[in-house]
Amino acid sequence: MTEAAVAPKATPTLPDAQTVTEVKHWTDRLFSFKVSRPASLRFRSGEFVMIGLMGDVNEKTGKAKPIMRAYSIASPSWAEEMEFYSIKVEDGPLTSRLQHIEPGDEIILRPKPVGTLVHDALVPGKRIWFFATGTGFAPFASLLREPETYEKFDEVIITHTCREAGELTYGRELIESLKDDELLNEVIGEGFWKKIKYYPTTTREESAKMGRITDLMKSGEAFKDLGVAPMNPEEDRAMICGNLAFNLELKDMFENTYGLEEGANSKPAHFVVEKAFLD
C-alpha cells in the first residue's frame, strides 16, 4: 500500500468553504473570528457578505441546506484574511452554532460583497462620523483600517453605544491597535491616528460616558465633549450601523435637524445607513 492510500480521506468541503484561522470571545454575548480569504475576492471596506454553516439534514428530503446571514466584513479591503464580529444568540439559527467554531473548521462564505457603507457613497467633506451600536461596529473596524478614510477626511469621529462596558472592548482594542498599524503609518504618515476621536458610551452599566449617543447629541453634550460644532452639510459626513430604531432615529435627526442628505453608491451625498445584521 502506498503512503497516499493510507492517508485519511479528505473531508468533503462545503460549497464556497473558507477555513477558520482565529476565534476570540469578547463577552458571553460577543465574539470575533477570522477566515481565509478567497483568492479572487475583492471588496470595498465597509461592505458585507453572506456567511453561514450547513444546517441539519432534513429527515424528509435527506438533504441539508445552508443557513446564511449577512455579515459586515470587519477587516479592511487590503487584509489577507477576512474578519467578522458577531453576537451569540442562544436559539439563533446560525449564531447558536457559529459561536462554537474553532480554528481549522470551515464556514461558507459567498464571495459577493455588497453594501452602502462605502466611501464611494459620500461626497467629500471635512469630517467623517461613524455611528455604531453593539456589533454595528464591524464595518467601521474595516473603514478605520482603510487608508482612504484618512486621505479623504481631516477628522474621524467614531461613536459606539453599547449596553455594558465589556461590549466596548473589541472596538477600543481595535482603535488602540491603529497606532501600530504599519500600513497606515506608511501610507498616511505617522500620527494619522491623531485624526481619530473615539466616543464610547454605555446605557445600562456605569462607564466614563453614559447615555445613548442620540440623546447626547440632542442635548449638545456630545458636540461639546468632542469640541466640534453640531453637524452641518458643509463639513460633516456620516455612516450609521446599529439596530433598526437607532438607524431610523439618527437618519431622522440628520435629515430634519442637521440638514444632511442620504447618499447611495449611485448618488453620493452626506450620509449612509445600514442595519446591523442580527440573528
Q: Strands, E, within the chain: which ranges? A: 17-25, 30-36, 48-57, 64-72, 81-87, 106-114, 127-133, 155-162, 196-202, 236-242, 271-275
With contacts defined by CB under 6 A, name the span among 33-41, 42-50, 183-191, 242-250 that binds ligand A2P. Answer: 242-250
> Binding pattern to ligand A2P, positions 152-171, x when CB under 6 A?
---------xxx--------
C-alpha cell at 143: 473603514
Q: Which of residues 89-108 bind ligand A2P (CB under 6 A)?
A: none
Identity of residue 37: R
- Burial, 67: exposed, middle or buried (Cβ in 10 Å; 0-12, 13-18, 19+)? buried
Q: How far is the CB of 30 from ligand A2P (least distance, A)?
A: 10
Q: How far is the CB of 88 from ligand A2P (least distance, A)?
A: 13
Identity of residue 58: N
Task: Find the distance separating the first CA and the last CA of the chain, reported in whole Å.
Answer: 49
Is 183 a binding residue for ligand A2P by CB under 6 A? The answer is no
Nearer to ligand A2P, 218 or 267 (CB): 218
Q: How far is the CB of 203 from ligand A2P (least distance, A)?
A: 3
> Binding pattern to ligand A2P, positions 49-88, x when CB under 6 A?
----------------------------------------
Taking a C-beta distance cutoff of 8 angstroms, is the pair 274, 117 a contact? yes
Is 243 a binding residue for ligand A2P by CB under 6 A? The answer is yes
Taking a C-beta distance cutoff of 8 angstroms, is the pair 23, 31 a contact? yes
Instruction: Choose which of 75, 77, 95, 133 interacts with ligand A2P (CB under 6 A).
Output: 133
Nearer to ligand A2P, 75 or 247 (CB): 247
Is residue 53 helix, strand or coil? strand
Contacts to ligand A2P by CB under 6 A: 133-134, 161-163, 203-204, 212, 214, 243, 245-246, 249
